[in-house]
Amino acid sequence: MIEALKSEEIVNKVGGRFKLCVLIQRRIVQLMDGARPLVAREGRSDLEIAIEEIMQDKITLDWDESVMLKGQ
């Protein structure tokens, strides 16, 4: 599963490495706070769950460009 991070497929699916990192981090926090996984856990870590959810298009990053521009 972690091998998926080495391919460009997951990076392109999200729109870049930074966005991928943000999406994974946010989803791991949700899972740690008790959110239900959208794929079968099958003994996998939260990181592996987040990656699988991305690969299956179960989660996406709602990126609001205006947030980045605030304060400039």
Within-domain flag for 71: no
Domains contained in the chain, number:
1
Q: Report if residue 72 sits inside a domain.
A: no
Q: Which residue has the higher pLDDT, 2 or 35?
A: 35
User: How far, in Å, CA of 53 to CA of 72, rounded?
Assistant: 34
Confirm whether 37 is domain-assigned.
yes
**pLDDT, tens only, 15-66:** 999 999 999 999 999 999 999 999 999 999 999 999 999 999 999 988 666 5
Size of the chain, expressed as the number of residues it contains: 72
- 55: domain CATH number is 3.90.940.10
Secondary-structure percent of the chain, ordered helix, strand, coil, rounded to 5: 60, 0, 40
Helix locations, the chain, DSSP H: 8-14, 17-32, 46-55, 65-69
In a domain, 27, yes or no: yes
**Bigger pLDDT: 26 or 70?**
26
Look at residue 29 and tell me if it is in a domain. yes
Residue 38 lies inside a defined structural domain of this protein: yes
71 pLDDT more than 50: no
- pLDDT of amino acid 65: 60
List the domain range (segments joined by +) for residue 46: 2-59
